[in-house]
Each structure stands twice: as C-alpha cells, then as structure tokens.
C-alpha cells in the first residue's frame, strides 16, 4: 500500500459532505471526532476523507492550517489500519475539537484510537 493522500482520496463534493453531516455516525476520542457514513462513491479508494478545524475553536488561521496538516499526515501514515479492515466504501470527516495545538505524536496516537473505535463500532453494527 502506498502512503499517499492524493486528490482522489479527498472528500470535496458538497453533496457528499452535506449527506455525511445529515446522516453520518460519530466516533470520538478527545480531541478528535470522526463522522463516517457507508456510501458508494466514485473513487477507487475505499475511503474519501476530509479534515476540519473549526474557527470557533482555533481562532488563528495559521494554527488551524498547521493542525490540519498534522491531521492529514497522521491519517496518511496510518490509513492502512482502516483500508485493510473494511470492505465497503466510506466517507470520513475528522474534526479537531480542542483549543490548544497538539503534539504530532499525541495526535497520531489519537488517530489510532479513533480507528480502533471505528472498526469495533462497524463490527458491532454488522456493516463490514
């Protein structure tokens, strides 16, 4: 598996994003929240993903952008945990909810926790 995060993997469609927020399920591990929805999409990848840091939570744009970069990197390096264990296509949105900027190592551990929670939740729901 390539450790890339290309254009085809990013969630850009406004319709899909609206559908995700309207009907998606949530998994939380502070300060990260994952909203996910099992839906078919036009990508060859099993997951289309988006990242968000709300302006209400982190005021400065440079800090929001830095956090989003760290989130993308943590996802890029650990996405194999998800893509190897799911069979259906999903769309994801990761939302950062803390006011302070995280350390990268901490953020990577939080991503792993969220992935484990997600996999156990879809296993118990019988969606996989």
What is the per-residue DSSP string for 46-100?
Answer: SEEEEEE--TTT---HHHHHHHHHHHHHHHHHHTHHHHTT--S-EEEEEEE--SS
* pTM of the model as a whole: 0.93
Q: Which residue has the tokens 């956090």?
A: 67
The SS3 assignment for 27 reads: strand
Per-residue pLDDT 10s for the chain (128 aa) are 688 999 999 999 999 999 999 999 999 999 999 999 999 988 888 999 999 999 999 999 999 999 999 999 999 999 999 988 998 999 999 999 999 999 999 999 999 999 999 999 998 887 55
Q: Which domains does the chain have, with CATH numbers?
A: 7-119 (3.30.230.10)
């Amino acid at each position: 598996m390539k450790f890339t995060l290309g254009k085809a993997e990013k969630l850009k469609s406004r319709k899909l994003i609206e559908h995700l927020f309207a009907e998606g399920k949530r998994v939380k591990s502070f300060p990260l929240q994952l909203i996910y929805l099992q839906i078919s999409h036009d990508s060859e990848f099993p997951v289309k993903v988006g990242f968000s840091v709300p302006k209400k939570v982190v005021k400065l744009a440079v800090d929001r952008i830095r956090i989003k970069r760290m989130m993308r990197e943590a996802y890029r390096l650990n996405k194999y945990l998800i893509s190897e264990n799911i069979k259906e296509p999903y769309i994801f949105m990761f939302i950062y909810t803390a006011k302070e900027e995280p350390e990268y190592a901490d953020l990577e551990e939080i991503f792993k926790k969220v992935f484990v929670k997600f996999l156990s939740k879809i296993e118990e729901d019988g969606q996989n």
